[in-house]
């Protein structure tokens, strides 16, 4: 699905694989593999590609044939992968570009990113299990099971697990992040 949408966006702008790769700072080989469904892009690669198109990350998941009603089932969800040692998100919402809801699991010591970053959205993280540490604008907040944190994500932020057990959380972002 990501590969098909990437190809539609690329060809719609009249870009070759090499031209898009140069703009996004990735290899043409990687883009070819993504478009053919051979590999899944990392979250960092998706952000770079969305930036080239001046669109949100959700744009890369948009499905023009997405139904008005969608049921998210385990094993059928698409994944967003971060670099090694960082988060992999499970997408709970369809790719319609209106709302992004993700399920994340961080193992002890893992983080969503090496450094805090920002984007123009409203973000809410609800902790399902464990204790999530949310760093927002340089301040760390411990968010326990059953609690949620909501903030303007234009503030630099990231999440990490400083505890000894896994932390599971649901992340809602509106509008979807670029």
Q: Any idea what the CATH number is for the domain that residue 16 is in?
A: 1.10.260.40
Mean pLDDT to the nearest integer, 8-35: 90
Q: Tell me: do 114 and 151 sit in the same domain.
A: yes
Q: Tell me: do 50 and 107 sit in the same domain.
A: no
Domain that holds residue 39: 2-61
Residue 90 in any domain: the answer is yes
Q: Tell me: do 91 and 12 sit in the same domain.
A: no
Residue 18 in any domain: the answer is yes
Q: Tell me: do 102 and 47 sit in the same domain.
A: no
Residue 119 in any domain: the answer is yes
Residue 102 vs residue 70, higher pLDDT: 102
For residue 80, say if its preceding peptide bond is cis, omega within 30 degrees of 0: no
* pLDDT at residue 125 is higher than 70: yes
Residues 121, 58: contact at Cβ < 8 Å?
Answer: no
**Calpha distance 65→40 (Å, rounded):** 21
Residue 71 in any domain: the answer is no
pLDDT band (50, 70, 90) for residue 97: low
Q: Tell me: do 88 and 129 sit in the same domain.
A: yes
Q: Tell me: do 30 and 86 sit in the same domain.
A: no
pLDDT value for 124: 96
pLDDT value for 109: 93
Q: Tell me: do 158 and 90 sit in the same domain.
A: yes
The whole-model pTM stands at 0.65
Residues 6 or more apart whose CB falls under 8 angstroms from that of 20 comprise: 10, 28, 31, 49, 52
Residue 74 in any domain: the answer is no
pLDDT value for 95: 63
* pLDDT at residue 5 is higher than 90: no
Residue 38 in any domain: the answer is yes
Mean pLDDT to the nearest integer, 134-139: 97
Residues 6 or more apart whose CB falls under 8 angstroms from that of 158 comprise: 111, 112, 113, 115, 116, 117, 134, 135
Counted domains in the chain: 2
Residues 157, 133: contact at Cβ < 8 Å?
Answer: no
Question: What would the pLDDT profile of 112-123 be if each residue is shown by its tens digit?
Answer: 888 998 888 899
Give the E-state strand segments of 36-166 in sequence order: 79-81, 88-91, 100-106, 122-129, 131-136, 139-144, 148-152, 157-160
Half-sphere exposure of 117 (CA within 13 A, CB side): 10
Work out the percent of the chain whose per-residue pLDDT is above 70. 86
Q: Tell me: do 26 and 112 sit in the same domain.
A: no
Residue 68 in any domain: the answer is no
Residue 39 vs residue 108, higher pLDDT: 108
- CATH code for position 145: 2.60.120.10
Question: What would the pLDDT profile of 42-57 be if each residue is shown by its tens digit?
Answer: 878 888 888 888 876 6
- DSSP structural state of residue 146: T
pLDDT band (50, 70, 90) for residue 133: very high
Residue 69 in any domain: the answer is no
Distance (Å) of CA 150 to CA 1, 86, 170: 30, 21, 12
């Amino acid at each position: 699905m990501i590969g098909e949408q990437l190809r539609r966006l690329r060809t719609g702008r009249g870009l070759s694989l090499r031209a898009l790769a140069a703009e996004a700072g990735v290899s043409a080989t990687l883009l070819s593999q993504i478009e053919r469904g051979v590999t899944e892009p990392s979250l960092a690669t998706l952000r770079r590609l969305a930036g080239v198109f001046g669109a949100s990350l959700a744009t890369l998941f948009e499905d023009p044939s997405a139904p008005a009603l969608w049921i998210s089932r385990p094993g059928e969800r698409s994944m967003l992968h971060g670099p090694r040692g960082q988060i992999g998100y499970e997408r709970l919402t369809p790719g319609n570009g209106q709302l992004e809801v993700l399920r994340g699991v961080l193992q002890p010591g893992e983080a969503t990113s090496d450094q805090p970053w920002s984007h123009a959205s409203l973000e809410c993280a609800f902790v399902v299990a464990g204790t999530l540490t949310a760093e927002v604008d340089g301040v760390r907040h411990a968010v326990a099971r059953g609690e949620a944190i909501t903030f303007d994500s234009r503030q630099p932020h990231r999440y990490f697990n400083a505890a000894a057990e896994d932390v599971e959380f649901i992340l809602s972002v509106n509008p979807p992040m670029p």
